[in-house]
Amino acid sequence: MEEQRKRLTARRKFELYLETRQKDANVGEILRRYGVHLNDLRQIEGAVERAATEALTGSRSNTHRVLNAEGPVDIAELRQDLARKGQALAELMVEQALLKKSEHSGWRAPSNGSMSMASGVRR
């Protein structure tokens, strides 16, 4: 029967990596404690090296990226999306204010699009 491997978070993987880099670290004992194999450690080392290299040599646009559940997202895109949503919210607030004003003044917009009095007079 094959033993089940533990799934480590990114933080725990990095802790494992750092711990195995300590002077006089007993790598075998550390791997047993974390429940991972030497091949897992080699994959973690490769991932850390790639991430560090990318972070240190990446273009300026790469430094303005964040991670979310779906993967990396450009901060400029997030700002544009926020601006669009802010504009939509502002438009809805104006529409709501106009609707409240029309309710208080007795005017309403009937289904045919022409304005009418709330008292029931139709044009």
pLDDT exceeds cutoff 80 at 45: yes
Q: Where are the domains of the chain?
A: 1-57, 60-111
Residue 8 pLDDT grade (very low, low, confident, very high; cuts 50, 70, 90): confident
Using alpha carbons only, give the angle 112, 97, 116 rounded to the nearest 5 degrees: 30
For helices 38-57 and 27-34, the axis angle rounded to 10 degrees is 90
Most confident by average pLDDT, 21-35, 72-86, 91-105: 21-35
Q: Which residue bears the tokens 């560090």?
A: 52
- Mean pLDDT (whole number) for 75-93: 89
What is the token pair recorded at 31?
């791997």
